[in-house]
Structure 1
């Protein structure tokens, strides 16, 4: 699982920072999460192929999380894209994008599918044979969702030495990978565990931005492998965080601790601060495994 940070700062873009957008690569799928202004430029800088992005998830309709969407959609068309593009976001995202396309007479060369979200309960919004995506209802000034990406349990791994020892024909290999027992010609039943290894444990990733401190999300993200949680403010601005329904680094770390997350990634920093190291320092007083997102950084898990 690989996470590439295209932008992770709050509010407006600057010459040295970009608003929220990131790419998650999981089970050979590429998901674009949020699409702040300048996202397509950041995709190019990070050498991420536009053609591999078929699903875009928008957390909420504040500009620093979706103002780059129309530009990205339009560039896909200019490049001659023909593959379907699916967009998941709050109700209203379709109206915004379709109006922009209509008034600019810039219709796409490919099919656009909008999956508009309204529920205040967690729900599955994407699922295929390898990955499932659920919403994480957050607490912000407008309707907002985070997203939980979970790998599905994969096939068992063939124990080559064991299958050769039992002289099992290759025709039964897939059955073994699927977890089935094998019956030999003499009637002997070979239990699956004797000829296979457990599959690689599935990974999970939770994206939580923007939100106030919100313990209601804990059951949804319990035991998550990697938690990206907004940390707009340091503790000295706790009152401002409460007023704007954002989180501090300590609050993000507290959520990670209570969720039993394995790894915390901080982001969505206010640009009022000169550097971001203090976010990590404050978070580590609560939770030990802290990484700092920054524009252009990538993490492999």
Structure 2
């Protein structure tokens, strides 16, 4: 699992900062999370094979999280994409995109599917044999969701030396990796734990942006490995949070602490601040393992 931050600043794009977008690569799947203006330029700049993106998750319909989507969808058409593209996001996103395609007479040459969300309860929006993605209902000025990405547990790892020592034929290997014990020809039962190793623990990643301090997210993201949480303001501007429905670095750290997260990544910074390290220092007064997002920054999770 790894994460590339394409943009992590609030409101408008600037010369050296980009609005929210990030790519999560997990179990050989590439997911795009939010798509602010300039996302496709950032994808090219950081040499990400964005043709591998089949699912896009949009948190809400404010421009700094979605205005890059129509451009990316159009570029996929110009590149003769054939693979289906699924867009998950708030109700209204289908109308927003299809109207632009209609007026520009730029219909896609590939299947474009919209999964429009309107529930205030957490729900599974994507699942296959490797990954499950669920919504994290947030509290913002308009309807918004974060997303929780969870790996599914891998099969057990075969202890090749052990199975060869017992003379077990290869046709039984998949059964053993699935957790079954093995009965030898002489009737002896070999416990699975003697024939396999534990797989790596499955990892999880939670994306929470934009939201006011909102404790109902805590049980949804409990024990998450990595939490990305918006931190638009420092504590000195906490008075702006209720009006704008955003969070301070200290409040984000409190969510991480109460959720027992292993790591916190801060993002969605207001550009009024000259040093992002101030966010890290403030958050670390509450929660120790804090990192700072930045445009183009890569995290090996």
TM-score w.r.t. structure 1 length? Answer: 0.99
Say which SS state the counterpart of residue 73 (structure 1) adopts: helix
Distance 2:113 2:203 in 1: 27
* Alignment-derived partner of residue 50 in structure 1: 50
Q: Confirm or deny: 8 A CA contact 1:70 1:97 kept in the other structure.
A: yes
* Alignment-derived partner of residue 100 in structure 1: 100
* Alignment-derived partner of residue 220 in structure 1: 220
**Greater shift in the superposed pair: 43-52 or 229-238:** 43-52
Alpha-carbon deviation of 1:249?
0.1
Unmatched runs of 5 consecutive residues or more in structure 2: none
* Alignment-derived partner of residue 85 in structure 1: 85
Say which SS state the counterpart of residue 287 (structure 1) adopts: coil
Deviation track 1:179-217 (CA, whole Å, cap 9, x = no partner) reads 111111111111111100111100000000000111101
Distance 2:217 2:241 in 1: 18
Alpha-carbon deviation of 1:53?
0.5
* Alignment-derived partner of residue 169 in structure 2: 169
Alpha-carbon deviation of 1:274?
1.1
**Greater shift in the superposed pair: 211-220 or 159-168:** 159-168
* Alignment-derived partner of residue 38 in structure 1: 38
Alpha-carbon deviation of 1:49?
1.1
* Alignment-derived partner of residue 178 in structure 1: 178
* Alignment-derived partner of residue 11 in structure 1: 11
Q: Confirm or deny: 8 A CA contact 1:50 1:76 kept in the other structure.
A: no
Deviation track 1:105-145 (CA, whole Å, cap 9, x = no partner) reads 00011000000001000000000010000000001010000
Kindly report which structure 2 residues correspond to 1:1-301, keeping only aligned pairs within 5 A, or say none.
1-301=1-301
Say which SS state the counterpart of residue 220 (structure 2) adopts: helix
Q: Confirm or deny: 8 A CA contact 1:145 1:208 kept in the other structure.
A: yes
Say which SS state the counterpart of residue 61 (structure 1) adopts: coil
Deviation track 1:244-275 (CA, whole Å, cap 9, x = no partner) reads 11000000000000000000000000011112
Say which SS state the counterpart of residue 119 (structure 2) adopts: coil
Distance 2:199 2:182 in 1: 18
Q: Which runs of 4+ in 1 moved over 6 A?
A: none
Q: Confirm or deny: 8 A CA contact 1:12 1:64 kept in the other structure.
A: yes
Distance 2:88 2:189 in 1: 48
Say which SS state the counterpart of residue 60 (structure 1) adopts: coil
TM-score w.r.t. structure 2 length? Answer: 0.99
Say which SS state the counterpart of residue 97 (structure 1) adopts: helix
Q: Confirm or deny: 8 A CA contact 1:147 1:207 kept in the other structure.
A: yes
Alpha-carbon deviation of 1:150?
0.2
**Greater shift in the superposed pair: 190-199 or 84-93:** 190-199
Deviation track 1:58-99 (CA, whole Å, cap 9, x = no partner) reads 000000000000000000100110100000000000001000
Say which SS state the counterpart of residue 175 (structure 2) adopts: helix
After superposition, the CA RMSD in angstroms is: 0.6
